[in-house]
Each structure stands twice: as structure tokens, then as C-alpha cells.
Amino acid sequence: MMRHLFLKFSLIVSLFTTNSSILSAQETFKFKNEKKRALNLRFQSINNLIILKAKLNGQELNFLLDSGVSKTVVFAKEIDSALLKDFSYVNVKSYGSKIPVKAYRSEGNKVDFGKIVGHDQDIYFIVDERMNLSQKIGINIQGIIGYEFLKSFVFRINYLKNSIRVYQHEKFNRNLRSFKKLDFRFYKNKPHFKMPVQYLDGQKDTLVMLMDLGASDSFWVFEDEKRKAPKASFTDIVGYGLESPIYGKRSKLQSAKMASVVFEYPRASFVDESDKLKVSVDDFKNGLVGGEILRRFKLFLNYKTASIYLKPNQNFDDTFNYDRSGLILTYSGKKIKTYKEQVRVFSKPDEVNTGYNQYKNEQKFKIRYQVTDVLSVENIRPNSPASQKDIQIGDQLLSINGSSVDKMDSKEIIKRLSQESGTKIKLKLLRQSKILKREIILENQFDAFEKMN
């Protein structure tokens, strides 16, 4: 399922093999210069997600760093035999899909982050076209890496600088007394911790939460007989399984406590029990904490000691951004755009006819071609501004307020569609061969119970 990806919705990819006897002894990741105490890795941040560049057997890929996965996964429409080492077909299931995902398990691979390398790594090559993160994020994401990388070092994640400081365990000596310590335990190689919460009706509870670097939403709570979404909530598409949307209720918690840090009235999504299987196949956890929360901290992550150290950063008091248009968008392919470009051509005139021995300036044109991404409406949130207009699933979004989406990244598009309630947004769309113009007024569906904050 996908995480809080393109327009503030969540996709979580969770895979497991049906053959639990498959085990292998992988080497941990190591510094190339083992004398180094620590080093820095830069990452690209897309909607609170951490994207790292690495080479897999010499080929550069973009990996999503995800504490919510226990296996390293690479997506490919076709098997590239040059990338694969010893490989065999495996039966892999994905949450939210009745049909097994097509995959190959490959041993003995090299994953190289430049200053850090992992030899003899097991990789699961997913060749199912349904698994396409790039469509949702807007940049080419070829893989997901989690437990095998995260267990190897101590990580300091700085969301403000898009930087990760990586420490060797035996040389880590940072004084973290100013940080709040949060202990966790592993379940299926994923970090879970207890989080005291108070619901809007005053009821108190302690939830077991997955710390999920690969989810960019804030808090998710899985509903059961005890835990139900409050009346002050609205139905929304909160994420996507492999084959269908995940519906839930958007609302708030009165409070949530991580270590001794308290969030007052944070936004939360309550995922219906019928959709829970698209997120998790076990009943161990009650929810998850994603990047919209984690980005508000300076944090140290230490798998060896099973602990997280937290200190609020300057993002801590940020408002919880939320798309106010109701459009759920996806990158659905490529298109070729043509541009007529004016060029200057200098030519020498005929000296006999003109009598002048100098150059003249002629205006000519050439056609330039550009390959751009197709941005389409994948779904529309119920009872949202977009749902009240003639906008349909499959419509291509061409421009926002006169600015072409070809010239915007996903951050800019989200920013424009997350402005204050009452903001008028003019959209240009393409439906088949017909250009459509629509105007929507952004609306915050939390306004009905914003006074509770």
C-alpha cells in the first residue's frame, strides 16, 4: 500500500514471502573507510519521505528509506539479467491483494551508497506492474530499503537539512542527555513502541505504534471494537492498497505522547477494520506514526539498542498540511510536447544586388520536443470541492491558476492545493481530446470541528 505520497495520502508497501523457511546470512553494511567514526548522506525529501541514491550492482537507483519493511525490494517491469545475481522465483504476497505479486529473490548483490557498501545482499525483484511508486511520487523510485540497512549503524536524521549522519556502533559516543529516549521492540524486524493517547471524548488509551519512515502521513489508528473514529470526523481516502483505495475517517486526537513530548490535538486517520488487512496482516500493532510527525524532531535511531532519541526541531509547531481540493493525483505516463522556438540565423547578403558587404539577421523557427509526465486524476475525495465539479477520474491536469504543471514538482502542486480555505483555484484539464476549465474553492473539511483545537 502506498504512503502519504503525492497529495497527502498514504501508501505502505509491505511484502512477505509465503515460504518462511527461506533464510540467508547477509553481510551487514559497512563503511568503506572503517577508520571513520561517522559520515553524512544527503537525501531527497518528497512529502516527508526519504529518498537515497545507491548503486545496485553498479546501476544507480533511487531507494525509499523505510523502517516499515524488513526486506530490500527493487521494482522492475522486466527482469534485467545484468542486475540479478543468483535468483529464483518466489511466491510473494502483498497486503491488500488477493493475487500473489510476481517476484524473484536474488542473492549476493552489492548495494553501494558511495561511502557505505553492503555485500551479499538479498534483493526481492518485484516485476508486477501494479507496484509502481514512481507514478505516485513523481520521481523514479526503483526500490525500498529498510531493516538490513538500518540495523547496521546509528542514524541521526535531520529533516531540516535533508541529511543523515551515520555512525558506526562501536564508535558512537554522542551525548544525548538533551534528547528524550523512546524504547521500542522489534516485531517482524520493524520498530514498534507504546504511545499513550487521549481521544476527543476524553477516553485514554495506550497504542502500539509502528514507527514508519516510509509513511508520510501523521498518525494512523486501526479501528477495532474498542477504538472507533469520533463523531467529529469525515470520510476520506487515506491511502492505497495494491489494488484499491483505503478509506478511513480523518479526525484528531486530543493528545498523543511520544517519550515525554506531547502533541495537542494532532490530526489522525482512523482506518476501518475492513481496510486494515490492506495495511497489516497481524493484530500486533494499533497504528503507525509517519513522516508528518517524525519530521518535527531531530532524531537518533539505534536498532542495536532498540531506542529512538527525540528532540523537537523548528518544525514542531507547524500546522498539519492537508490537501483542500479533494484531488488525488498520479503520474500516469509520459507525453511529448512540441515547442516552436525562434532562432536567429546570420547570413551574408548578395554583394552584387545590395552593394553591402555585411551580415543581415533573419528570423527563423525550429521545433523542439520535450518529454513530460502525464499528471492524472486517480480519485476524488468524497464531499470535497473537486467532487462538486465536473471532474472525472482519468482527467489530465494541465495547469493550476495558469501555471503549467509540467514546470512544477510535487511539492509545489501540493502547496497550491493546500492553501487556506476560500482560495479560488483555476484548473485546466484534458479529457480525451477536450480541454476543460474548472474553478474550485478550497475547503478545509476539518473546519467543522476546528474549534476543538
Task: Note the pLDDT of residue 45.
Answer: 86
Residue 141: CB partners within 8 Å, gap ≥ 6? 51, 62, 63, 64, 75, 133, 134
> Tell me: the pLDDT tens digits for 381-434?
888 899 999 999 999 999 999 998 888 877 788 888 888 889 999 999 999 989
Q: How far is Cα 76 from Cα 126, in angstroms, rounded to an integer?
A: 6
Residues 282, 287, 289, 291, CA torsion sign:
positive
Q: Give the residue ranges of the chain where pLDDT is below 70.
A: 1-27, 77-84, 91-99, 129-139, 240-244, 273-284, 321, 332-372, 447-453
At 324 the pLDDT is: 87
Look at residue 31 in the predicted model and tell me its pLDDT: 97
Q: Which three cell numbers stand for residue 175?
A: 551525548
CB atoms within 10 A of CB 198: 16
**What pLDDT, on the 0 to 100 scale, is given for residue 165?**
97
What pLDDT, on the 0 to 100 scale, is given for residue 109?
92
| Residue-level pLDDT at 3 | 33
Backbone angles phi, psi at 136, to 5 degrees: -85, -35
Answer for the pair 417, 403: CB distance below 8 angstroms, yes or no. Answer: no
pLDDT at position 28, please? 85
Cell numbers placing 136: 505516485
Q: Which triple of cell numbers denotes residue 110?
A: 552489492
CA distance 336 to 374: 10
Task: Give residue 335's pLDDT.
Answer: 64
Instruction: Write down all domains in the chain, each with its CATH number in brackets.
Output: 10-171 (2.40.70.10), 180-312 (2.40.70.10), 327-447 (2.30.42.10)
Compute the distance between CA of residue 249 and CA of residue 268 in angstroms, rounded to an integer: 8
Q: Could you tell me the pTM of the whole model?
A: 0.81
pLDDT at 372: 67
CA distance 378 to 312: 35
pLDDT given for residue 22 in this prediction: 42
Site of grid cell 514498534: 192
Dist. CA 437–CA 399, nearest whole Å: 10
Which is it for strands 424-431 and 434-441: parallel, antiparallel or unpaired?
antiparallel
Neighbours of 367 (CB within 10 A): 8
Helix, coil or strand: residue 16: strand
